[in-house]
Amino acid sequence: MAVASPSRVLKTAPRRLTILGSTGSVGCNTLDLVSRNLELFEVEALTANGQVERLAQQAKQVRARLAVVADESRYRDLKEALSGTGIEAAAGQAAVTAAATCPSDWVMAAIVGAAGLAPTMAAIRRGAVVALANKETLVCAGPLMTAEVVRGKATLLPVDSEHNAIFQVLDAERPAGVDRIVLTASGGPFRTLPREAMADVTPAQAVAHPNWDMGAKISVDSATMMNKGLEVIEAQHLFGLPSERIEVLVHPQSVIHSMVAYVDGSVLAQMGQPDMRTPIAYTLAWPERMAAPVERLDLAAVGQLTFEAPDPVRFPALRLARQALQAGGGAPTILNAANEVAVRAFLEGRIGFLDIAGVVEDTLSGLPSAPLLSLEDVWNVDREARAIASGLISRISRP
What is the reported pLDDT for 185?
Answer: 93
Residue 304 in any domain: the answer is yes
Domain final position from 159, 185, 207: 159
Domain co-membership, 188 together with 331: yes
Domain co-membership, 100 together with 180: no
Domain co-membership, 62 together with 190: no
Domain co-membership, 182 together with 308: yes
Predicted TM-score (pTM) of this structure: 0.91
Domain co-membership, 87 together with 190: no
What is the reported pLDDT for 88?
Answer: 97
Q: 322 in helix, strand or coil?
A: helix
What is the reported pLDDT for 188?
Answer: 84
Domain co-membership, 186 together with 249: yes
* Contacts of residue 62, Cβ cutoff 8 Å, sequence gap at least 6: 31, 34, 35, 38, 41, 43, 46
What is the reported pLDDT for 8?
Answer: 47
Domain final position from 135, 159, 183: 159
Q: Could you list the residue range(s) of the whole structural domain that residue 325 is in?
A: 165-271+294-396
Q: Residue 304, CB half-sphere, CA atoms under 13 Å: how many?
A: 2
In the chain, which stretches have pLDDT less than 70?
A: 1-12, 211-213, 398-399
Rounded Cα gap, residues 236 and 143, in angstroms = 10
What is the reported pLDDT for 377?
Answer: 95
What is the reported pLDDT for 215?
Answer: 77
Domain co-membership, 178 together with 307: yes
Q: 182 in helix, strand or coil?
A: strand
Task: Kindly report, residue by residue over 166-201, the tens digit of the pLDDT.
Answer: 999 999 899 999 999 999 998 888 888 899 999 999
Domain co-membership, 45 together with 131: yes
Domain co-membership, 89 together with 225: no
What is the reported pLDDT for 104?
Answer: 95
Domain co-membership, 312 together with 220: yes
Residue 84: CB atoms within 10 A of its CB come to 6
Total number of domains constituting the chain: 2
Residue 279 in any domain: the answer is no
Domain final position from 159, 181, 215: 159
Domain co-membership, 183 together with 101: no
CA-based nearest residue to 100, from 44, 159, 33, 173:
44
The order of strands in the sheet holding 256-262 is 246-250, 178-185, 256-262, 267-271
Domain co-membership, 154 together with 220: no
CA-based nearest residue to 69, from 81, 87, 84, 55:
55
What is the reported pLDDT for 295?
Answer: 95
What is the reported pLDDT for 1?
Answer: 61
